[in-house]
Amino acid sequence: MSTVLGRNNYGKSGVRLVKVTRRPDRHDICDLTVDVALEGDFAAAHTAGDNTGLLATDTMRNTVYALAQGHDDVGDIERFGIRLVEHLLAAGPTVTRAQVRLAAHPWSRLTSGGAADPHAFQRGNGGDRVATVTGDASGVSIEAGIDGLVVLKTTGSGWEGYHRDDYTSLPETDDRIMATELTARWTYGDPASEIGFTASWEAVRAVVLETFGDHYSPSVQFTLHRMGDAVLEARPEVERISFSLPNRHHLLFDLSRFGLENDHEIFQATEEPYGLIEGTVERAPAPGSAADNGVVSASARSGA
C-alpha cells in the first residue's frame, strides 16, 4: 500500500492577548483571542521527522505578543492581523500561506460619580468583533464579522402562508417574538485600499441593528435579506455579507387549562431544537462581466 500526504496545516490556537494602553488621562483595554494556522511544504516533518523548516507553535504565540507591543492599532484587529500574516509568511522558511483569526472581546467603562472611570471596566455586550486575515504570494484577503450578537423584538414578526403537509402542526401567527443570536461575516471589495476597518465594522453593526427592528418581518429569511441589502447600500466597501440566524424560539404558553388568559404576555423560551436560517447577500455582477456571463471564479464558488 502507498500513501501520500494530503493538505495539512498547523499553528497556535487560543492565544489570549490583553493590551492596556496607558494614556495620561485614562487607560484603554484591548482583549483578543488569536488563532494562527500555517500551510506550506511541511512534508518532511510528517514523513521523515525532519522539523528543519518548521516554526515552533510557541514562536507563533510569542509573535502575537511581540507584534502587539509598541503599536496602537491592536484593537483595529484587521490591521493587526495583516501585520501578523505578513510577518509569519516572511519568518517561516517553508510557509506559503498564513491565516490569522482574531476575536475582540468588548469591555465598557464603569462610571464613578456620574463620569466614566478612566481605569475600571465591565465586560461589554453587543457581540464580539471578529476577523480572518489570510495571506499568500498573491496578497492578503480580509473577512470581518460579528459573533454572538443577541437581538430580540417582542412584536413586528409573524410566520404565515407557509407550505403545510400531513405532519404540520404549527399554527400560523402574525404576532410573535423574534429573537436570534446573530453571526455575520463580510468581505471587502478592495482589502488593499485604505479602509478604516474599525469605523467600517461599527457602521455595519449599526446598520444591522437598525434594520433588524425597522420593519414587520414575515420571516427570518426576509429580515436576513433586508439587513444584507441595507449594509451593501450603506457601505460601498463591503462586497458581500453572510448571516447565520438561529431562531431562539419564545413560545406563547397555554394558560387556558388554568382558567387564565394569555394575551401575548407569558412565553416559554426554548433552546433546542431551533430553526437555523443562513444566507448571503452580495452585489450583483456588473453587466458584461465574467460573472454576469455565467463564469464564476473558484473563490466565488467557495465563498472566499
Residue 158: burial class (beta carbons within 10 Å; 0-12, 13-18, 19+): middle
- DSSP labels, 13-59: EEEEEEEEEE-SS-EEEEEEEEEEEEEE--HHHHHH---TT---HHH
Across the chain, the runs of DSSP E, i.e. the strands, are 10-22, 27-40, 95-104, 107-112, 115-123, 128-136, 139-153, 178-188, 238-246, 250-252, 267-269, 276-282
Cell readout for 214 is 425597522
Cα–Cα separations (whole angstroms), residue 21 to 27, 72, 143: 6, 8, 26
- C-alpha span between 174 and 218 (Å, rounded): 8
Active site residues per annotation: 12, 57, 249
Establish whether the linkage from the previous residue to 273 is cis, with ω within 30° of 0. Answer: yes
> What residues are paired with 34 via a beta bridge?
15, 102
